[in-house]
């Protein structure tokens, strides 16, 4: 739905109560922003080390043990107070730092987890896993925390010197791929006292947006069927096949697709189909993602899935239970905050890519059949949202966006024209492309943090948009109530691969970059014969 933001609404927003932010004259704020950008640039080495280290850990959702230990150590060293295990999730944490009393609370987040089977050597334009079959950062989530921490440290220095009151709250997007944490953070009050949320995500340009973007919300659900085992040849009539039930559910859902809205996206995998063919499976589990573009339609498809699962159980004389793995609300981003961030983005611009970096990007694009356009060289315009946004992927930052005024800033650490959720998306993520793109993203984050800390008018406008436009007719509908987070997910995969991956962890004390540690010449375009 297209939303409107008029001068009248903006003027009314200024009349609303706002947090006790420090009011700084525009000229001085511009100077502080330039200083913040320089502060991020000064931390380019920290950005590189964080990106390369987290890339080398390659951990999946809920198992980001090394990643969270590493990040919280960096934050503690820099004066942040850490609370670990938030929402009952071992790898989740919050990090807070406060200057003075009062002032806005700005929450800054980014994701952590990797993708199954996407282990890949960085900096080489061909397929070569670091560890065959292992997970890796085939999405680029190894880079976002470096963006946020560099920005927060640069802003922290300024807040101390200028005595700008406020609190910085850093937090991790644990298990974003199965959308299994942020709804729990919201439920448990992580953002209760927050005034605004800045989220960041890897991309191939430096950009932000407002309103409802392309994409969907989702509920991620495991359906586990229970039957009775028997000898598949000797006495099959004595068995009740849980696998038959799982397959019948898939058949039923696939027939139902024709009669669902075209905007829906749904997909499933059978995670447990039995043990061996000569034993009738007594247990079987199928994992579904039901995606749609509104709260009501997500819930409707979820209920249809539940009905079909129960029907499949009845047809096979089995029983079925379902467990929510994760949820993501449809996203809605804050217009005044996005417009402020875009003004900062225009001042920063994209990194100056070298001919070698462009050549490498085109080689990777050719490798996966993408358009050989190289890296982006022009900032994209901030556009109004589509009147009818297209369907697509999901992100549980959507739940946060319905709780507090929120935007996402994307930064150019990856190569455009790649398939996503794929080993090829890991190729650039521990190279100069990722490092330079994250520094640019850190500058945009730092400058926008200063806007929110020092402009009461911006916070008032953001709150007005949130209450008078975004949530005027649509309210947040959480999909979880008392469910516990699925903290055991991916544990078996990481148990299988972690010790094989451990010898390849990056050692920044010994090597300047991860490419150097791996003996990779940058850029490597042709695989040695």
Per-residue DSSP letters for 340-358?
HHHHHHHHH------HHHH
Helix/strand/coil (H/E/C) assignment for every residue in 228-265: ECCECCCCHHHCECHHHHHHHHHHHHHHHHHHCCCCCE
Q: How much is the mean pLDDT over the chain?
A: 95
pLDDT at 344 over 70: yes
User: 11 falls in which pLDDT band (50, 70, 90)?
Assistant: very low
**Can you tell me the mean pLDDT for 290-300?**
96
Given a cut of 70, whether residue 9 has pLDDT beyond it is no
Q: Is the pLDDT score of 12 beyond 60?
A: no
Binned at pLDDT 50, 70 and 90, residue 19 comes out as: low
Rounded distance between C-alpha atoms, residue 465 and residue 468, angstroms: 5
pLDDT band at 8 (very low <50, low <70, confident <90, very high): very low
Tell whether the model's pLDDT for residue 21 goes beyond 80.
Answer: no
Helical H runs in 43-129? 44-57, 65-77
Contact 314, 274 (CB under 8 A): no
pTM over 0.75: yes
Q: Which residue has the tokens 């916070």?
A: 459
Whole-number pLDDT of residue 387: 86
Q: Residue range 362-389: average pLDDT?
A: 95
Question: Is pLDDT at 383 greater than 70 in this prediction?
Answer: yes
pLDDT at res. 413: 98
* Number of helical (H) and strand (E) elements in the chain, helices listed first: 15, 10
pLDDT band at 529 (very low <50, low <70, confident <90, very high): confident
Please check the confidence at residue 226 and state whether its pLDDT lies above 50: yes
Q: Residue 108 is encoded by which pair of tokens? A: 């800054």
Mean pLDDT confidence for 254-270: 96
Across the beta sheet with 166-173, what order do the strands follow? 81-84, 93-99, 166-173, 105-111, 196-203, 406-412
The domain locations on the chain are 27-214+330-472+481-518, 217-328
401-439 pLDDT, tens digit each: 999 999 999 999 999 999 999 999 999 999 999 999 999
pLDDT of 283 higher than 60: yes
**Contact assessment for residue 55 and residue 121, using Cβ atoms and an 8 Å cutoff:** no
Query: Above pLDDT 70, what percent of the chain?
Result: 96
- Would you identify the CATH topology of the domain 217-328? Alpha-Beta Plaits (3.30.70)
Contact 52/121 with Cβ under 8 angstroms?
Answer: no
State how far the alpha carbon of 216 is from the alpha carbons of 307, 324, 417, in Å.
22, 17, 21
- Would you say residue 10 has pLDDT above 90? no
Q: Is the pLDDT of residue 1 over 90?
A: no
pLDDT at residue 4, as a whole number: 44
Tell me how far the alpha carbon of residue 150 is from its chain's centroid. Answer: 18
pLDDT band at 327 (very low <50, low <70, confident <90, very high): very high
Tell whether the model's pLDDT for residue 13 goes beyond 50: no
Mean pLDDT across 136-158: 98
Residues 108, 168: contact at Cβ < 8 Å? yes
Does domain 27-214+330-472+481-518 fall into CATH 3.40.50.360? no
Query: What is the per-residue pLDDT for 20?
Result: 61
Q: Find the mean pLDDT for residues 170-190.
A: 98
């Amino acid at each position: 739905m297209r939303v409107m933001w008029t001068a009248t609404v903006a003027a009314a927003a200024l009349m609303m109560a706002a947090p006790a932010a420090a009011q700084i004259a525009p000229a001085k704020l511009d100077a502080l922003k330039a200083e913040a950008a320089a502060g991020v640039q000064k931390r380019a080495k920290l950005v590189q080390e964080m990106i390369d280290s987290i890339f080398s850990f390659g951990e999946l959702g809920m198992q980001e043990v090394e990643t969270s230990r590493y990040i919280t150590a960096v934050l503690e060293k820099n004066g942040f107070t850490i609370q670990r295990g938030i929402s009952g999730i071992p790898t989740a944490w919050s990090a807070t730092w406060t200057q003075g009393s009062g002032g806005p609370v700005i929450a800054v987040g980014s994701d952590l987890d990797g993708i199954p089977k996407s282990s890949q050597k960085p900096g080489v334009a061909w397929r070569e896993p670091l560890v065959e079959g292992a997970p890796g950062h085939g999405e680029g989530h190894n880079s976002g925390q470096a963006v946020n921490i560099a920005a927060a440290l640069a802003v922290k220095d300024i807040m101390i010197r200028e005595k700008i009151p406020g609190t910085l709250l850093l937090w991790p997007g644990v298990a974003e791929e199965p959308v299994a944490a942020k709804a729990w953070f919201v439920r448990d009050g992580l953002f209760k006292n927050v005034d605004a949320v800045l989220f960041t995500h890897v991309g191939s340009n430096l950009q932000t947006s407002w309103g409802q973007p392309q994409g969907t919300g989702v509920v991620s659900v495991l359906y586990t069927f229970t039957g009775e085992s028997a000898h598949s040849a000797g006495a099959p009539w004595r068995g009740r096949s849980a696998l038959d039930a799982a397959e019948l559910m898939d058949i039923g859902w696939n027939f139902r697709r024709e009669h669902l809205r075209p905007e829906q996206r749904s997909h499933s995998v059978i995670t447990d189909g039995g043990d061996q063919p000569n034993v009738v499976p007594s247990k079987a589990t199928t994992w579904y993602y039901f995606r749609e573009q509104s709260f009501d339609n997500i819930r409707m498809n979820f209920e249809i899935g539940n009905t079909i699962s129960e029907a499949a159980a009845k047809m096979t004389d089995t029983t079925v239970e379902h467990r929510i793995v994760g949820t993501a609300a449809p996203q809605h981003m804050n217009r005044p905050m996005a417009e402020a961030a875009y003004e900062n983005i225009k001042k920063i611009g994209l990194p100056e890519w070298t001919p070698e970096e462009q050549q490498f990007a085109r080689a990777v694009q050719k490798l996966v059949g993408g358009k050989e356009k190289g890296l982006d060289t022009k900032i994209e315009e901030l556009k109004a949202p589509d009147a009818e946004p297209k369907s697509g992927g999901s992100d549980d930052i959507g739940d946060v966006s319905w709780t507090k005024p929120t935007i996402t800033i994307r930064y150019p650490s990856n190569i455009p024209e790649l398939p996503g959720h794929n080993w090829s998306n890991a190729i650039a993520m521990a190279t100069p492309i990722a490092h330079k793109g994250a520094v640019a993203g850190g500058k945009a984050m730092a400058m926008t943090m200063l806007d929110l800390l020092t402009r009461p008018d911006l916070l008032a406008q953001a709150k007005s948009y949130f209450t008078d436009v975004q949530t005027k007719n649509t309210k947040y509908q959480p999909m979880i109530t008392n469910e516990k987070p699925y903290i055991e997910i991916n544990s078996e995969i990481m148990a299988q691969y972690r010790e094989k991956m451990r010898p390849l962890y990056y050692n920044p004390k010994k090597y300047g970059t991860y490419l150097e540690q791996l003996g990779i010449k940058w850029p490597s375009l042709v695989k040695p014969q």
